[in-house]
Homo-oligomer: A and B are copies of this chain.
Amino acid sequence: MDTALGAVSEYIKKATASSNPIIQEALSDLFTYPGKMLRPGMLILSSQFGTPDPKRIYPLAAAIEMLHTATLIHDDVIDDSPLRRGLPAIHTKFGKKDAVLIGDFLLSRCFLVAAEYTTPQNAINLGKAISVICAMELDQDADRWKPSLSVRNYVKKIIGKTALLFSLACHVGAAEAKTPEQVTERLRRIGYNIGMAFQIIDDILDYTGNESELKKPVGNDLRSGLVTLPLICALRHDTEGTLTRLVQTENFPKSDITAILYLTQQLGGVADARDFAQMYTDRALREIGQLPKGKAKENMEQLAKKLLIRTY
């Protein structure tokens, strides 16, 4: 898998080449310290259930990582997050104006790759995915500082935020490799469930993680008003109303952040959220169990366990 991801990285470098010095600098920083490349990884794994042609699969994997990176750049602008993967975010280094344009550039190159190397249907799928992601982000932004958020509403948001792109990665990888339809559909569901569990775990870590591992401060989402599953669950148990009172004011003062983190754990919000994560993990593993036997299946199982069975 490392060789394949290396090839995808090379591909991304080629696909984002530009004579513009700002773009050059920003993107070389970004792709010199790539993330975990989970989405291209899942795409490539999924393609191995069919007959993958690297000349089509790698560009598609590159496109999905470029799409993901573009959304991260714009997200960091929107959330005012100074760090990404422990390094200064693009807008911290280049300013918000340039960060918007660099994200747009990456998005356009992602579509270019999709149009050039994949079937029109997969290009359509990418376009659809981005518009859903944007709509979800707008919802998320409108729902800041709203502790009354329901679990249902939270679930809808993390579908757009994470599960959609995970399931798309599996789906297009399998489809492009002409995997039998039933297996392709199963892989899509596996991607979806892994994505859901992965995002819930991420949201739990905002309450329980340690900063050096997270590479960002604990309570980061909370500080920007994002209400996630642990808090939503804790509020259901808050019969005395202590937590409720704390989160009813906009812009929680710094002292309150610690109290909210503590109470969310105490009231069982984190434990409830862990149950949700477990449910999606179980679903993913059950579906993986029903994939055709072979090396690809083993790899997918390993990846799912690595992603989902961590201390949180």
Binding site for B on A (CB under 8 A): 18-20, 22-23, 71, 74, 77-78, 96-98, 100-105, 107-109, 111-112, 114-116, 120, 123-124, 126-131, 134-135, 137-139, 141-142
Closest chain B residue to A71 by CB distance? B104
Closest chain B residue to A99 by CB distance? B100
- Find out whether the CB atom of B114 lies under 8 angstroms from the CB atom of A23: no
Residue in B111, B124, B128, B135 whose beta carbon sits within 8 Å of that of A23 in the complex: B135
CB distance from A126 to the nearest CB of B (A): 8
CB neighbours of A102 from chain B (8 A):
134, 138
- Find out whether the CB atom of A130 lies under 8 angstroms from the CB atom of B101: no
CB distance from A96 to the nearest CB of B (A): 8
Closest chain B residue to A134 by CB distance? B105
CB neighbours of A134 from chain B (8 A):
23, 101-102, 104-105, 108
CB neighbours of A130 from chain B (8 A):
104-105, 107-108, 111
- Find out whether the CB atom of A116 lies under 8 angstroms from the CB atom of B124: yes
CB distance from A82 to the nearest CB of B (A): 16
CB neighbours of A127 from chain B (8 A):
108-109, 111-112, 115
CB neighbours of A126 from chain B (8 A):
111, 115
Residue in B101, B103, B111, B135 whose beta carbon sits within 8 Å of that of A141 in the complex: B101
- Find out whether the CB atom of B112 lies under 8 angstroms from the CB atom of A20: no
Bound form: Cα–Cα A71–B105 in Å:
11
Residue in B19, B23, B78, B104 whose beta carbon sits within 8 Å of that of A74 in the complex: B104
Residue in B78, B114, B129, B142 whose beta carbon sits within 8 Å of that of A100 in the complex: B78
- Find out whether the CB atom of A131 lies under 8 angstroms from the CB atom of B105: yes
CB neighbours of A111 from chain B (8 A):
111, 115, 123, 126-127, 130
What are 23 A-B contacts defined by CB distance under 8 Å?
Answer: A18-B135, A19-B135, A20-B138, A22-B142, A23-B135, A77-B97, A97-B141, A101-B137, A101-B138, A102-B134, A104-B104, A104-B107, A104-B130, A104-B134, A105-B134, A107-B107, A107-B108, A108-B128, A108-B130, A108-B131, A114-B115, A116-B124, A120-B120
Bound form: Cα–Cα A126–B22 in Å:
22
Bound form: Cα–Cα A276–B115 in Å:
37
- Find out whether the CB atom of B115 lies under 8 angstroms from the CB atom of A115: yes
CB distance from A277 to the nearest CB of B (A): 27
Bound form: Cα–Cα A137–B139 in Å:
29
Closest chain B residue to A142 by CB distance? B22
Bound form: Cα–Cα A233–B71 in Å:
41
Residue in B22, B120, B137 whose beta carbon sits within 8 Å of that of A116 in the complex: B120
Residue in B22, B78, B115 whose beta carbon sits within 8 Å of that of A101 in the complex: B78
Closest chain B residue to A135 by CB distance? B20
Among A77, A96, A101, the most chain B Cβ lie within 10 Å of the Cβ of A101
